[in-house]
Chain A
Amino acid sequence: MRSALFIAGLALALSALQLVDVRHQNLAAFMHIQQLAGEYDRLNEQWGKLLAEQATWTVRRVESRARAELGMHNPPPGAVYYLLLRPAASVAAAGAQP
């Protein structure tokens, strides 16, 4: 009877300590998850920015920079030559595609 009581008391003390420990771990894990959520937000923000930037490059910037800085232009119709590899059958459009 006495030893049973002792064991129960010990178990109680141990579980109390464990509770404290688990609470602590929970808090630490929560802080970690908060941090990760912040990271997720930040990466999301960056992803959105990159998507937008990519779109701007593909749609606008590459062409305007090619024109302005490299002096590139679409060839006028007279400057486009087609080489027919097989006469009239299939048309290979060499050199005409941008």
Chain B
Amino acid sequence: MSRRRNARKKDFRTPRYARRGRVVAAVMLLAFGALAARAVYLQVLNAGELQAYGKKHHQREVTVPAARGVLSDRNGTALAVSTPVDSVSAVPGELAQAPQSWPALCKQLGISRQTLRRELEAHRGRGFMYLKRHLPPAAAAPVRALGVRGVHLRREYRRYYPAGAAAAHVVGLTDVDMRGIDGMELALEETLRGEDGKKVVLLDSRRNRVDEWVRKGVRGGGDVRLSLDSRLQRIAHRELAKAARRHRAAGGSAVVVDAQSGEVLALTNVPSFNPNNRKGVTHRHLRNRAVIDVFEPGSAIKPFTIAAALESGAASPGDRVQTSPGWLRIGGKTLRDPRDFGELTLGGVVAESSNVGIVKIAQKLPPRALQDLFAALGFGAPPAIGLPGESAGVLPRGGGLRPIERASLSYGYGLSVTALQLARAYTAIANDGIMAPLTVMHRPGGASGRPGQRVFTAATARAVRAMMEQAAAAAGTAAQARIAHYRVAAKTGTVKKFMDGAYAAGRYTAVTAGLAPASRPRLVMVAVLDDPRGEKYYGGEVAAPVFQKVMTRALRMLNIPPDGIGAPARGRT
């Protein structure tokens, strides 16, 4: 036994086996050495280049777009919603090398092969180009399924505006990259936008995502509720548009405001535009007239002149004014009433809209009283409700106005206002002397964000309201603003348009401003029609019916109880 074992041991020690062993060891060492060298070459010497290659082909940093917040009205009805869409992009160099994939791709995208070739040529040498933007996800899915090399889909969002043209000016617009460019979309950009996230995705050789890690978390945009009421907005827009068509007006605005909270319930203009299809939309359509366009308010300012007179003690509600013979000379100019109204009460001056009467009242005022009240009512300063482009209007600030200028102010010439400013001023009459700060943001429970501002006493406000009720009586100038079963206080204005440096003959702005129910006002509305070229052009004939129709619906819709039951029924609807 032991001999045999010894013999075997001996066998390994023979020189032949020993040499073989050394050769094997050397080969293995060499092989390992080669592997180690290769490893060092790849991992140390060549690392940068290879990592770059790996990153380029298997790692991609992608943006995770934040969904833009939803804009809705006071009842939660959507006004602007983002819907996801897919944009198809390409790496021009990669796509150019795969012409065999073009026909299928072009068919899916609905573009011609010539267009594709031209576009590829135009983007040669660049790393990115869009093939088609904003496809509905269902239409983009087949493109993804084609799996063409160098073609990528990117998730983006598109804005849809359910309220369409009616709310287009307030809601505003976003551009193709989802940045707000007008209206509340612009004003609330910070809140609505959110923040895009970033993540790195790892692709396998077949370009499937196999892993990802988040670089920066995505923060979705916040939702915002506006004070608007979509239904009222639509009714206001429809009635305004109808009136503008019927009276061949160049444009118009309507504003409905909650008298107590100052919330804007409806703000609409014509002409407007369809925000979901902006073809053929010009600056004329985009302009938010109620906020931007200024006009001389004319007779619609008279209630405030009366208020100034009552406040200063220059007149008291029971006073009478002699307007005969129906004209008055001031500083070499003659001021006329439509006819000789004789002796009028203050209410009669408002109801008949007598220029002579109002000027006679204003002449008793201290020199700056009217200007001061108008400034307190916010004329000459932007309403600061947050809409872009708010005009301040014009109010002469300095002292030393000539008598004719002071007289003009008293019946609404020599200052200019926006429809929104006029509505805000009227909230003071509605709200027993306290002017509500306007807002387009929803204030739940009617809680006002900023406190209102007292501009005159409650007694003055009530007296003026009663006079405006006379104007909206059957024989008043605002008779067409009357609403069955409700008490309405309203004032109309028919203002000569100032064009090219002079008051143009036969060109007017028709205005009606008012509130309801007069016993306990809840709503203030202003309707303006610019340059009606039809047969009728008086504020009481053109704008008052718009006021009446919209206000009727608004009172019913908001469940505001009637305060004029049993009052003589009125004929017109």
Contacts and interface: CB of A to CB of B under 8 A. Distances in A.
B468 to A, nearest CB: 21
A71 to B, nearest CB: 18
A59 B162 contact: yes
A82 B562 contact: yes
A48 B84 contact: yes
Contacts of A60: 234
A18 interface: no
Interface of A: 26-27, 30, 34, 41-42, 44-45, 48-49, 51-52, 54-56, 58-60, 74, 76-78, 80, 82, 84, 91, 93, 96-98
A52 B162 contact: yes
Contacts of B78: 51-52, 54-55
Among A49, A51, A52, A78: residue with most chain B CB under 10 A: A51
Given A27-B210, A44-B67, A77-B573, A52 B83 contact: yes
A54 B89 CA distance: 33
Contacts of A59: 77, 162-163, 166, 230-231, 233-234
Contacts of B79: 55
A71 B202 CA distance: 61
A55 B563 contact: no
Contacts of A26: 211
Nearest to B202: A30
Contacts of B70: 51
Interface in B548-565: 553, 556-557, 559, 561-563, 565
Contact of A96 (B210, B231, B485, B569): B485
Contacts of A58: 75, 77, 230-231
B84 A91 contact: no
Contacts of B155: 41
Contacts of A27: 210-211
10 contacts: A26-B211, A30-B210, A42-B137, A48-B160, A52-B78, A55-B162, A59-B233, A78-B484, A82-B562, A98-B557
Contacts of B565: 82, 84, 91
Contacts of A96: 485, 556, 562
A27 B562 CA distance: 68
B456 to A, nearest CB: 29
Please report whether the interface of chain A is mostly helix, strand, loop or mixed according to DSSP: helix
A59 to B, nearest CB: 5
B562 A91 contact: yes
Contacts of B372: none
Contacts of A80: 484-485
B81 interface: yes
A48 B211 contact: no
A45 B160 CA distance: 12
A60 B238 CA distance: 11
Q: Shortest 3 CB-CB distances between A and B: which pairs? A: A77-B484, A55-B162, A48-B83
Contacts of B162: 51-52, 55-56, 59
Interface in B61-106: 67, 70, 75, 77-79, 81-84
A45 B84 contact: yes
B216 interface: no
Contacts of B563: 91
Interface in B201-225: 209-212
A55 B167 CA distance: 12
A39 B138 CA distance: 14
A51 B81 CA distance: 7
A61 to B, nearest CB: 11
A93 B562 contact: yes
A56 B160 CA distance: 11
Given A48-B160, A77-B484, 15 more contacts: A27-B210, A30-B209, A41-B155, A48-B81, A51-B81, A51-B162, A59-B162, A59-B230, A59-B231, A60-B234, A77-B483, A84-B565, A91-B561, A96-B556, A98-B557
B117 interface: no
Contacts of A41: 84, 137, 155
Interface string B533-573: 00000000000000000000100110101110100011001
Contacts of B212: 30
Contacts of B82: 48
A54 B230 CA distance: 12
Interface in B120-174: 137, 155, 160, 162-163, 166
Contacts of B483: 77
